Structure 1
Amino acid sequence: MQERHCRRTTGTAPTRDGRALFYTEFAPPTGDGPATVVLESGLAASRSYWALVQQAVAASARVVAYDRSGLGRSAPDPRPRRLQRLADDLGDLLDHLGAGPFVLVGHSWGGLVVRLAAARRPERTAGLVLLDPTDESCDLLLDPSMRRLEKAGAVAGRVLARTGLLPLLFRKVTTALPPQAAAEMRAEAFTVGAMRTHRAEQASVGADLRALRDNPPELGGIPVTVVSATRRTPGMSARAREAINAAHAYRARQSPAGRHVLAPRADHIVPVTDPATVVTEIERLLGPVPDTP
């Protein structure tokens, strides 16, 4: 779907402590649709990589993608970026957008953010779509070796950002995006400031996962679709892919309306590498779109 077929606007949503969260909103030509779809990114990722999904879903529903604090065009946060803090910010964005209902779509670390936000206000959540999500049930993700890899990656990211080389690692992503989104990503997503936010979001990953394992959010009857990548991201072993997808299957089984989907063309960056599967699963939760009189 091309952007000209829908209405694109931008705005900012205030948080409870006065920060501003920047968002883009696409609305279908015939109205807002059955629910508002809100897209939550992975660790240190901006709104831009959702462009293919956002524009396609906007044929039938209002779709919002936003930048978390310190990313893209959103104001930084002076406080620690714990998972609960991220869920607070998402809740504030939803309050700003209206009463709902909302279909919340979370990629990677964003899967945990939307689960927490949905558990706090289940009455306004029509469904969740979790895209290759981080899941506390995966023992591998709690291994200390993962924290070492994360720290090494963060150091490398800061060095590459300072030298201007970081965008080269993501050419596959930016090449796949529409021109405007690609330009915005190149300008905003690979800065030293973004890498600072990456470090802040990453600092409590292990502690947050352990806290969720001890006290998982209760989703009740909210429909949950979990989409797993099937292609390995560079550096990921076959064993890791198998363990992560097993955790995804487990997460889907925890919902009475759970669904586990294997995305045939996706590596971890599912919104870019297999947007068609993502759009199909979002539209499944939205339900049939009424005919225009």
Structure 2
Amino acid sequence: MAREEVQVPRGSRALHVLARRERAWPRGDTDEGGTGGGTEVGTTTGSDPLTHPPRGRARAGTGDSGCPRGGTVLLEAGLGLDSTLWSPLLDLIDADRRLDPWRIIAPDRAGSGASAPAPDPRPLSSLVADLDAVVDTLGTGPLLLVGHSWGGTLVRLWCAAHPGSAAGTVLVDASYECGPEHHRAAGLGWLGRGADVLAADSLEALELSLGRGARASAHARTQEMRLFGTSLDLLASLESRGLAWMPPDSELVTTSRRHTRQHEVQRRFARDRGFTLRAADTPRHLVPLRDPATVLAALVDVLPAG
């Protein structure tokens, strides 16, 4: 299906979002044979203005016509990465009929990909506010959040700030406040924040970021690395006070590259919340590139039931 380039205003700047509009199903068709179409999404190429109904809280099911109701899937990339990370997953989603009714949106954080840079220094609250802007502008129906690496941390912070607003989440090899990368970051200062997370895939991550405003992307990465440890400290504080809300329908995708301590943190995190812990078929950290099929399987599992 066609993907569109959407600009979400954020004051004097704008956030670039890669979007795939939902595909309409023929009346009474809930299995095979759906057709193209769906709600138009505003683009940067002069199409009709963006229109959408208010974002709802109802869980997805089937309407009176028997057609499945969808919602919005938001894909949040890891530290220093952008929406191109999700290209293999988007290809699989396009071919999977179960996600036809769902709008898929993958934002570039400020300064990354095609998004305009944010003022420096940047507070952590600004990243959560950017997510708010994307969801409020493009979200419709139930919301599912997929976050890779530090993007998973941002997904958790957004959920904590908006209890009850997400129908499900998928955390893909996410960073955790008790993980080894956080302990190392505390000792190394902001320069070391996130280094352990991206070390095994640094060349591949660099290749993703080059060619789309390398200077701005490098600066955005530096801004985010300064906030990496702060974000995990905040989550630890929220957890200790019972304020780190997460939707009960959630899955964690992990890789064998993770340290023993990290695996234990992930197992405990999943066990304590009744979440599913799913192993990716790759030892590398960039799971959305290496094993998008496992990410898709996790996403399908958290689709709201009728």
TM-score by length of 1: 0.76
- CA shift in 2, pair 1:151/1:142, >3 Å: closer
**Preserved contact between residue 35 and residue 126 of structure 1 (Cα < 8 Å):** no
Provide the secondary structure at the position in 1 that maps to 2:254: strand
**Preserved contact between residue 105 and residue 111 of structure 1 (Cα < 8 Å):** yes
Report 1:187-206 matches (<5 A).
Answer: 187-188=211-212, 191-206=214-229
Percent pairwise identity: 29
**Preserved contact between residue 38 and residue 63 of structure 1 (Cα < 8 Å):** yes
Provide the secondary structure at the position in 2 that maps to 1:265: coil
Q: 2:285 aligns with which of 258, 268, 276?
A: 268
CA distance in 2, matches of 1:153, 1:125: 30
Q: What residue identity is the alignment partner of 2:212?
A: E
* Structure 1: gaps (5+ residues): 1-5, 158-166, 175-181, 233-239
**Preserved contact between residue 266 and residue 273 of structure 1 (Cα < 8 Å):** no
How far residue 94 of structure 1 moved from its aligned partner, in angstroms, is 0.2
Are residues 1:215 and 2:238 paired?
yes
**Preserved contact between residue 182 and residue 193 of structure 2 (Cα < 8 Å):** no
Aligned twin of 1:244: 262
CA distance in 1, matches of 2:87, 2:117: 23
* Structure 2: gaps (5+ residues): 25-37, 40-68
Aligned twin of 1:150: 192
Provide the secondary structure at the position in 2 that maps to 1:170: helix
Q: How many positions carry a matched residue from both structures?
A: 252
Are residues 1:9 and 2:4 paired?
yes
Q: What residue identity is the alignment partner of 2:5?
A: T
CA distance in 1, matches of 2:250, 2:230: 24
CA distance in 2, matches of 1:205, 1:152: 7
TM-score by length of 2: 0.73
Please identify, of 42-51 and 209-218, the stretch whose mean Cα deviation from structure 2 is larger.
209-218
Report 1:1-293 matches (<5 A).
Answer: 6-15=1-10, 17-30=11-24, 31=38, 34-58=70-94, 59=96, 60=99, 61-138=102-179, 141-143=182-184, 144-147=186-189, 150=192, 169-170=203-204, 186-188=210-212, 191-216=214-239, 217-219=243-245, 221-230=247-256, 232=257, 241-256=259-274, 258-286=275-303
Q: What residue identity is the alignment partner of 1:200?
A: Q
Provide the secondary structure at the position in 2 that maps to 1:203: helix
Provide the secondary structure at the position in 1 that maps to 2:106: strand
Deviations along 1:5-30, one digit per CA (max 9) or x if unpaired, are: x1311111123x44311011113543
- CA shift in 2, pair 1:83/1:255, >3 Å: farther
Q: What residue identity is the alignment partner of 2:18?
A: T
**Preserved contact between residue 100 and residue 125 of structure 1 (Cα < 8 Å):** no
How far residue 76 of structure 1 moved from its aligned partner, in angstroms, is 0.6
**Preserved contact between residue 99 and residue 124 of structure 1 (Cα < 8 Å):** no
Please identify, of 262-271 and 74-83, the stretch whose mean Cα deviation from structure 2 is larger.
74-83
Provide the secondary structure at the position in 2 that maps to 1:286: coil
Deviations along 1:23-47, one digit per CA (max 9) or x if unpaired, are: 1111354347522110001111111
Q: Comparing both structures, which one devotes a greater share of its residues to helix?
A: 1
